[in-house]
């Protein structure tokens, strides 16, 4: 009889969360787990290179890694959206809707079940009102 797959959900795709999702995803079959990453941005920009973006040497999306591509290459699933709820007793998280620029719903609210939950919120970039999009 096959063991039940463990569901690992990582919320936050910064350096720590993305690296953990990739490392676990690469081992997911051997470890019998399903790995999911949740983030409200679609891609990750390596923060130590922000000075190059600010100086105009690097475009704000040139060094960004799309989470969908990272997940495809490393064996984890990516869910776009913000964490809006947590039910510890039911072991579920709620992911908020994703809206278009016009305010139309692209993705509705979703609920993910987990066996192990990792909260890797990290930090938020402050562009000091320059208007550079870093997400």
* Domain at 28, CATH number: 3.50.50.60
Angle between helices 67-74 and 15-26 (to 10 degrees): 30
- As a whole number of angstroms, the distance between CA 4 and CA 64 comes to 35
- Domain assignment present for residue 131? The answer is no
pLDDT in tens, 89-98: 999 999 999 9
How open is the CA angle 100-80-47, to the nearest 5 degrees?
Answer: 100
pLDDT in tens, 50-89: 667 667 776 655 567 899 999 999 999 999 999 999 999 9
Indicate if the pLDDT at residue 15 is higher than 60: yes
Number of domains in the chain: 1
pLDDT in tens, 19-55: 999 999 999 999 999 999 999 999 987 666 666 766 7
- Domain assignment present for residue 125? The answer is no
What does pTM read for this prediction?
0.82
């Amino acid at each position: 009889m096959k063991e039940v797959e463990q569901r690992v959900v990582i919320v936050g795709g910064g350096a720590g969360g993305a690296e953990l999702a990739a490392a676990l995803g690469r081992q997911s079959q051997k470890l019998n787990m399903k790995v999911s990453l949740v983030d409200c941005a679609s891609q990750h920009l390596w923060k130590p290179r922000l000075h190059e973006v600010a100086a105009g040497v690097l475009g704000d999306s040139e060094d960004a890694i799309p989470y969908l591509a990272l997940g495809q290459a490393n064996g984890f699933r990516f869910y776009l959206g913000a964490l809006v709820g947590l039910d510890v007793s039911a072991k579920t998280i709620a992911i908020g809707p994703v809206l278009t620029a016009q305010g139309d719903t692209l993705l509705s609210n979703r609920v993910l079940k987990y066996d192990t939950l990792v909260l890797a919120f990290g930090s938020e970039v402050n562009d000091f009102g320059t208007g550079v999009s870093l997400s």
